[in-house]
Amino acid sequence: MTKTVNIIGAGVAGLATSVRLAKLGYEVHVFESNAFPGGKINSGVLGQYRFDQGPSVFTGPKYLKEVYDACGEDFSEFELIPLKTSFNYFFNDGMRLQLSNERTQIIDEISEKLGEDKRDLTAYLDKAAKNYEVIAPMFIEASLHSWRNYTGKAFFRALGRLSKYKLFSTMHDENVKAFRNPRTAQIFNRFASYNGSDPYKAPAMLNMIGHLEMNQTPYLPKHGMIQITDSLYKLAKKQGVRFHLNEKVEEILVEGKTVKGIKTAHGLYPSDAVVSNMDVSFTYERLLPNSTRPEKTIRQEKSSSAIVFYWGIKRSFPELTLHNIFFTDDYKAEFDGIFDTKIAVDDPTIYVNITSKYVEGDAPEGCENWFVMINSPIDVGQDWDVEIVRLRRQIIKKLNTILGIDLESLIEEESMMDPRTIEQRYHGKQGSIYGNASNNRYAAFQRHPNFSKQFNNLFFVGVSVHPGGGIPLALNSAKIACEYLEKRVG
């Protein structure tokens, strides 16, 4: 008899999980409170402008290819655009760097503009690549919570490089030692924000995040980031997955140590297993109100949130590319504001993503769609209406100064998202984007596993559980959870 699995949430991890389980022969139902699949990876339209609403940097496409491979589909149909540049960096004093999508040219640009020794940059990037190569099979592509993971060759290979991980140093500590120019350290410190963490607290091991962007390259799907959602949704439906959009799960039904199904406003849905792609904190608080909560995990420091403005700009800017960073002068103060005082600084680092540079039709001719984001504190009761007015003013002032423009006069369409929106729409507790931050050396081990220790047929996927934040890690969470489910449920 075919076994049934209910999945809560149609984010990228929930979609990937549904594809994998359906291919294994399970009857899969996906329940999503929004009217659209994809979670944070969704699309919005303002007038004649289209915007990717959430994640905008795509690295590690091999992990998406694995989902295609798992169901026997041809990944070549998922077209990727080769980027001319990876990132443009702007500093307040007028200095600009344009980093290529090719490692040698990246090294040349940083060396020329920031005075770094090419040998130091080469050694740093080689180390990041080697650390990723050794650590990923154990800590990203497999479960941290299985004793088998600590007995094989991969474990002893990783153990042999223990001194290279600098377990008692922070990302910033290692970056200021590695480079002559503080701005080079700032560029590499930025990778902490890829999982919502603070480079002045996060362990140095996380410097390997830069490998996927500097040694390899970021990509852009031909039709924008929404193509990731569209492709996974298409694969899932082709495998027979049934979607229940606009249907919010109210409770996970349990009996003893066994999950019996889920409850929505439309009724009860029995199943042999449940997979939650919802923020793990909210899964326990809202859907398992009578269960024992993993308090140590839930009490961990939350990741950063974000404030995003979606602007239709009635002008084009040849000096900008797909990914643009406008740095603050005081990076330490910015992260102190995000994680300690919980008030964003007046001079935040600004990220401007412009998909119309590559995706035809995302903006009218001669215009651009600007996704303008700053990292922000989570919601702890700030007056966000006041904060948004202040930060919008500061963002426009900064961009006006660096680009020499009157930005306000160029904005013809506008929408925005803040920590409140993120919690309401995507169920990220207090607006946190990645669940817990990685702001201590034990953070990787303190993330919730992809299975429940309390219920034998409850599983977890998404950025709030192992292995962590970002699209590549979310896709790996699906793979790991499916392996556990197949072993436990049969």
Model confidence pLDDT, tens digit, residues 351-395: 999 999 999 999 999 999 999 999 999 999 999 999 999 999 999
Amino acid at 362: D
What per-residue confidence (pLDDT) applies to 393? Answer: 98
Q: What is the CA radius of gyration of the chain?
A: 22
Residue with tokens 């020499």: 404
pLDDT of residue 153: 63
Residues of the chain with pLDDT under 70: 146-167
- Chain-centroid distance of CA 274 in Å reads 23
In 214-229, which positions are buried (b, 16+ CB within 10 angstroms) versus exposed (e)?
Answer: bebbbbbbebbbbbbb
Q: Which residue spans within 198-285 are E strands per DSSP?
A: 220-221, 242-245, 249-255, 258-264, 267-270, 273-276
Report pLDDT for 135: 83
Q: Quick count: other Cβ atoms within 10 Å of Cβ 123?
A: 12
The number of C-alpha atoms within 13 Å of 308 and in the hemisphere containing its C-beta is: 22
How much of the chain is in helix, strand and coil states, percent to nearest 5?
40, 20, 35
Q: Output the pLDDT for position 167.
A: 65
- Domains plus CATH for the chain? 4-41+225-300+444-489 (3.50.50.60), 107-209 (no CATH)
Give this prediction's pTM: 0.94
Residue 108 pLDDT: 97
CA diameter of the chain? 68
User: Given this model, what pLDDT does residue 142 score?
Assistant: 82
